[in-house]
Every structure is written in C-alpha cells, then in structure tokens.
Copies of this chain bind each other. A is one copy, B any other.
Amino acid sequence: MRMPLLVLGLSLSTLPLLAGEGMPDDGIRTFTLENGLEAVVIEDHRTPAVTHMMWYRVGAADDPPGLSGLAHYLEHMMFKGTHNLAEGEFSRIVRENGGEENAFTSYDYTGYFQRIAADRLELVMEMEADRMANLAPPPASAESELAVVMEERRQVVENRPGGIFNEERRAVQFINHPYGRPVIGWMHELENLVIDDFLAFHGEHYAPNNAILIVAGDVTVEEVEELARKHYGPIPDNPDLEPRQRTVIAPQQAARRVEYTDPRVQNPYVIRTYLAEPRRPGDQDEAAALAVLAEVLGNGLTSVLAQELRVKEDFALDVGAYYGDLALDRTTFGVYVTPNPGVTLAEAEARMDQVIADFLATGVDPELLERIKTRLRAAEIYARDNIGGRARQIGAALTAGLDVEDVRAWPEALAAVTAEDVMAAAHEVFRPEASVTGWLRGTGEGVEPGEVVFDDTEVSGQ
C-alpha cells in the first residue's frame, strides 16, 4: 500500500505547478446511489479504454478470529460462478473481449478490477454486479480452490524467508489486533475454512453500502451513473452492516525482537519497525511528515542512511526506510540495513542506531529536504498519467477511511512539510520501547537474493 515514489532522472524545472489552488480540473467526479454504493469516476479520454474497479470495505483484518485468510479465499471464490455464470466464465468473457482483470486483498479492502475497451464497460459492470448479488460457486470448486490458496501461501510465505520473517514480525508488532495475522491466513486456519464461511462473509460484507465503484478512463460520469443505476442500483443494501470496529492494539512498553534464521538467506539484514499513525480524514499533516521522513532517511543514494552507510563508507549492500501511509487503524514506520557480507547484524544494527541518533541530534539537511519535496511533487504529477494507479490510490485511500478530498489534499500536505515537522515526527516515532527489531539471518549457504520484505499487506492475483 505504499504510494509509489518515482526517482526521476530528468530536470524538474519544466514541471507544472504543484496540485492545489488553481490546479487544473483533476477529472474526478463522485456520486452515491440510493442503496449506499459510492462511486468515483476519473475521466481521462486519452485512450479508448476503461478501468472498472469494485472495492469492498472489508479485508483480512475483518476475518473472524480463527478464520484468517477468509477474505482472501472469498476473493478467489468470486471467480467461481454465480446463479447466472458458470465457474470460470467471468474471466473467459473478459479475456474474449480483449480485457484483463484481477483482484487483490489487503487488511482493509478487497478489490476487483477489469481493464477493457470503453465500449465494453457495461459488460463487466453487469458481471461484477452479478457476483456481488448472486455468488454461487459449486461446492467442489470451494475445496479445490482452497488447495490453490494453500499453494499460494506456500509460494508467498513458506518459500520466501522474507515472507516468513515478515509474518513473524507482524505477529509481535500488532498485539491484540488483526493486522498481526497474515492476509493470506495461517495454514492451520486455512485448513478449517468451508464454503459456508465465505458465503456468510460475502452475505454480510459484499453489499452496495459497503462498496466503492471506481471507473477510470474514456467515460463520462453521466454514462457511468446511468450504467451503475441499471446494474448496481437494484442490489439491496445490507441494513445490518456493522461498522468496522477492530480491537485496539495493546500498548507496548518493552522493545521486541524477532530473530529468524533460514538457510536460504543470502544477504542477512536488520530491520526495525515502530507503530505509527496513518493518514487520518482531514488530518494528514503528521502522516505527511512521516512520509517525508522515510524519504529523507532511506530513499535513494542521497538519503541519510545511504549517504552514511553506502556513499561515505562501503558498509551496506542496501538501506531503506518505509512508511505505510494508508491504514484504517495503525501502520508502521521502519528502517533497514543489509550490511556487506562479513559484517554481523549486531554491527549493522549498531551503525543503523548511530546514524539515526546522529540524525536526531543534527536535524535534517535543508537542501536534501527540498530535493525530496521536489521529487515527491514530480512523482505525484507523473502518477496522474497512470490512470490505473490513480484509481488504485483512490480505492486504497477510501477503504482506509479517507475521502476524495483527502486524496486531493495529500500532495499539498507533503509540500507543506517543514524541517521542524520532519524532526518532530522523527522524535515521536523513534521510541525504543515501542520498537520491533528483526534479524533475518542465513546459515552461510544461502542463494536467495537479499529481498527485503517491508510490509506485505496485500495478496493479489487469483
């Protein structure tokens, strides 16, 4: 769920002004149907294609206790047939009409999308509405698909040391909160899932008043509204829909550590994460400061960690910093160092600590801060060219409790961050007693490339 930040190799002086007052129309329109379905339309007529997305305000964090993986399993089962379409027909029809499609599940959302020629929008909308209202996969497919999900888990977790390590770190980071469970589910709980579980979950959460329709591309809001009324309008809302209330993360007073050793690891690394606040509706300034802080510390060779541990000295293969700006509940801020071969993780951690301590003592370099803000601005503007990416940003933001205005205001919030804001955010977030420090170690014979898994919060593909 990290906002993609591009590092641009071209001059920025020719870029248009930052979004905000006086900015051109961004083409984003919204409407809401009587049954509660919210819709966002992004008009963009450069190519005769359209992206149609349905986002549900439900995800792995809403899996009932003991049934981790349910939201993601349901995502798979959405392709297995309805009262009107047989198993696999949805995908076949999209494909035969030249479209592509996929789906993704994270803690706070489950999303489905198709990209297709603009004149086929009604086709995919009709099918998406059908599986919102009429999901009815054959029982045999539930069993076989569960095996597929388990195999997917093997691929993304068991077969990847970083995947296992990420799962272990999340478990101790988010105590008393479903963000501590894996999106894809623990194997021992996947084994228990049955067809009634996901049918009940679908019945409860897949309703128009829990969904956000996003259509982007060569359409007008009027066309989309007309089609949405026709296909989604007749689906009744769920009047018993409960607000998403998760338990509150337990307060942490003791530093936690996780040490995972896996023979497949080639490049060991140390990673430290802290609980942090995400963007809040109408209140994104602290998050903006953390987003800039992550850039200052760890993005690119000019960042503080890279300068100290890679440029001035050849100490580390890789360094980085991370901030997950979108989450309904809480998120993490993290830093990592992958030291050169032969350097211990204890040494790497000590150097990482020293760099951060020095940074807290001396403050942020004003020139670096300006360069980063220019880069963020450029990235935001270039992101507008990626119509699918914009639609995803909006979907992720809205299912994390924000609204379209928050999305619009985010570039301004980033632009307004001062050096004082960055340092205040740094002093706030780096609390040793609320940290989770992870060591991922090998045994000397590793061949796995040194992939750092910061925060695996989404499983995509079906």
Contact = CB atoms under 8 A, between A and B. Distances in A.
Contact of A254 (B65, B188, B259, B433): B259
Chain A residues touching B, majority SS: mixed
Nearest to A186: B250
A174 to B, nearest CB: 10
Contact of A186 (B176, B255, B438): B176
Interface string A40-72: 000000000000000000000000011010000
Nearest to A158: B253
B250 A255 contact: no
Question: Chain A contact residues (Cβ within 8 angstroms of B): what range?
Answer: 20 to 34
Interface string A392-426: 00000000000000000000000000000000000
A171 interface: yes
Copies in the complex: 2
A432 B200 CA distance: 40
Interface string A165-185: 100110110011000110000
Contacts of A169: 254
A257 interface: yes
A189 interface: yes
A252 interface: yes
A256 B254 contact: no
Interface of A: 65-66, 68, 164-165, 168-169, 171-172, 175-176, 180-181, 186-189, 245, 247-248, 250-261, 433, 438
Given A176-B181, A254-B438, A255-B260, 13 more contacts: A66-B247, A66-B248, A168-B254, A169-B254, A176-B186, A187-B251, A254-B260, A255-B258, A255-B259, A256-B256, A256-B258, A256-B259, A260-B433
